[in-house]
Amino acid sequence: SLTGSPVTLKILQNWVPRVSHYFDKEHYTYVGHQIVIQESIEHFGAVVWPGALALSQYLESNQEQFNLKDKKVLEIGAGTGLLSIVACILGAHVTATDLPEVLDNLSYNISRNTENLNMHKPEVRKLVWGESLNEDFPVSTYHYDFILATDVVYHHGALDPLLATMEYFCKPGTVLLWANKFRFSTDYEFLEKVCNIFNTTILAEFPESNVKLLKATVRKN
């Protein structure tokens, strides 16, 4: 079951689009920093989706409620890296993960936007949902305060491994923040599964973008 009375928000148009044939470079401003994101037209994961904008904006505006300073943050499906960069600017120890084919662009964006900042150096790692989790991220070593996920649910065949990955990383004390554009029945079915596993609260809705922002934590036994 889903608890909470969400605030209704609008994604602010705080970027200036600049277009070229092969790559888009999008210019954003969060937490007083100019962030330049290179997008690639070749991969789904290399475009900035609305969920990343929504959660970046929310974290910037709710730093008292979700204080990322010195916290360990894992982003799954980091894509272009915008949200990981924002989390890094907010002071987190960030690990940004995605599929192997997305990592070059992800690493480029993250290093380029964080290299001159006096903060924890972010890490970029391969993570295929549901695969080699115990080997690559053993529980004995890796514990995260926050798991971030944006627009990870759409028409793809890896929804069960995604849910298993969320479950694997979401330990007692971990907060999962998931923002997603809800378009298809499969999106709502996935939400139902999340609600069955976790204590789930809806924090915010962005009706114009069909984005919902949810917080999930492990159920106490």
pLDDT at site 77 = 95
Which one-letter amino acid corresponds to residue 214?
Answer: L
Domains in the chain, start-ordered, CATH in brackets? 45-218 (3.40.50.150)
- Per-residue pLDDT tens digits for 98-108: 999 999 999 99
Question: What percent of the chain has a predicted confidence (pLDDT) above 90?
Answer: 72
* Nearest alpha carbon to residue 113 among 205, 173, 207, 31: 31
Mean pLDDT, residues 36-65: 86
User: Over the Cα atoms of the chain, what is R_g?
Assistant: 16
- Per-residue pLDDT tens digits for 106-146: 999 999 999 988 889 999 999 999 999 999 999 999 999 99
Mean pLDDT, residues 61-69: 96
> CA–CA distance from 59 to each of 126, 134, 184, 216 (Å)?
24, 29, 26, 15
Q: Is the pTM of this model over 0.75?
A: yes
From CA 73, how far away is CA 56, in angstroms rounded?
13
pLDDT at site 220 = 80
What pLDDT band is residue 156 in, cutting at 50, 70 and 90? confident
